[in-house]
Amino acid sequence: MPFLQTSQTSQTSQTSQTSQTSALPDLNHAGGASSTQLSHALNSVSQSFATSSFVVTAQTPKAASKEEFRKLQPLHRHVLMTEALSKGLSISGDHTKVHVEKDGTKQTLAGGSGDLEPAVPDGPALTQIQNRRWLRAERMNEIVGQQADILSFLALAYPMTRDTHPFTMSILDAVLAAVGKLVVEAKFLLNVPRPADVTGGIGPVIRTPAHGATPSGHATEAWAMAYVMEAMIFNKPSQELRLIAARIEENRIVAGVHYEKDGYAGRILATLVAKEFAVRLGISSGHLDTTREPVWEGAGQAGLMKSGKLGTKQAQPQQPNYIAASPSNAGVLQHAMDLSRAELGYA
């Protein structure tokens, strides 16, 4: 699950990957990196100012503006956006099943309860992993790369970088962190043993994480970000985004660290939170729900294609319908979305 390597997270290696959470650039001066020598030199110059009194501009406290939000250090923006996206959301249940709650109320899906049930590590579940071992040589680079980086793969559907789309990327970082928190809670409650914990015959090709298997963090995060990107950028289901997310989900099975049902549970969780995240980001995306619900069970790209929920091939960017500011999307998230819309050409 890429979230605070937290390994998959490196998860917030996505946040750090992004160098978003890297502190050093934020300490730089106007023309160069911070150093004791430069600080002494700056002090020497400032001592030469002829200052006997001060001219003070009176300021009164007021709500932070979009421009003030833009100037914040990336880490501070990340913390604020993650909290705004995840506020009131939690996981409740026990080792038999869990569900998402919003302010204490269970969240459900059309045509289903929204419960996440644990994978059963039995013979059939292990055989589904074994039958994919032949894919390992072909997908090894993907498997290793996706341990710490999901977003580079999703960006194949809409090219963007930290330089060209810094606020769009920062929103996706916050989505990753917010959903990652719920994944950790669900994994702990369900406590499903990994394939390597129940048999020596799987031979995983990457390190088996110490936390539980269900839901798959990578599947949850890939689908959640793909769905948020659909709402923010395309305003329609994107076939490419969905194929990429499905492949990321399946690669964890191929690697030998997840069961098929882990990915299914991850898709349920991603579908639930994507609906709520869209509202909090001020995007009207209800028309996308029918293309995601009910959540299909088949794993990977083959399962997606059989589901009939592939989406639009080579979808072109299209401005979404924005909803009026409300307590759920005002302030931090509204500022972030305004800045992202400008990057996407939707301002």
284 phi and psi angles, rounded to 5 deg: -85, 105
pLDDT tops 80 at residue 329 = no
10-27, pLDDT tens digit by residue? 444 444 444 443 446 778
Q: Looking at the domain assignment, is residue 177 inside a domain?
A: yes
- Structural domain of 233: 10-19+67-344
Residues whose CB falls within 8 Å of the CB of residue 121, separated by 6 or more in sequence, listed in order: 192, 193, 195, 197, 198, 213, 259
Residue at 42 is within a domain: no
Mean pLDDT of 203-232: 97
CA distances 2 to 9, 191, 261, 295, Å, are: 3, 19, 19, 22
CATH number of the domain within which 201 lies? 1.20.144.10
- 224: which 2 tokens? 């959640």
Q: Is residue 331 part of a domain?
A: yes
pLDDT, residue 265, reads 97
pLDDT tens, 271-286?
Answer: 999 999 999 999 999 9
The string of pLDDT tens digits covering residues 24-75 is 677 888 888 888 999 999 999 988 887 777 788 878 888 888 999 999 999 9
Q: Is residue 77 classed exposed, middle or buried when 0-12, 13-18 and 19+ CB atoms within 10 A define those classes?
A: buried
325 vs 93: which has the higher pLDDT: 93
Q: Residues of the chain with pLDDT > 70: what percent? A: 91
Per-residue pLDDT tens over the stretch 73-131: 999 999 999 999 999 999 999 999 999 999 999 999 987 789 999 999 999 999 999 99
Does the pLDDT of residue 344 top 50, yes or no?
A: yes
> Mean pLDDT in the chain?
90
24 part of a folded domain: no
Average pLDDT over residues 155-183: 97
Collapsing DSSP states into helix, strand and coil, what is residue 211? coil
Number of domains in the chain: 1
Token pair for 105: 């109320």
**Band (8; pLDDT cuts 50, 70, 90):** very low
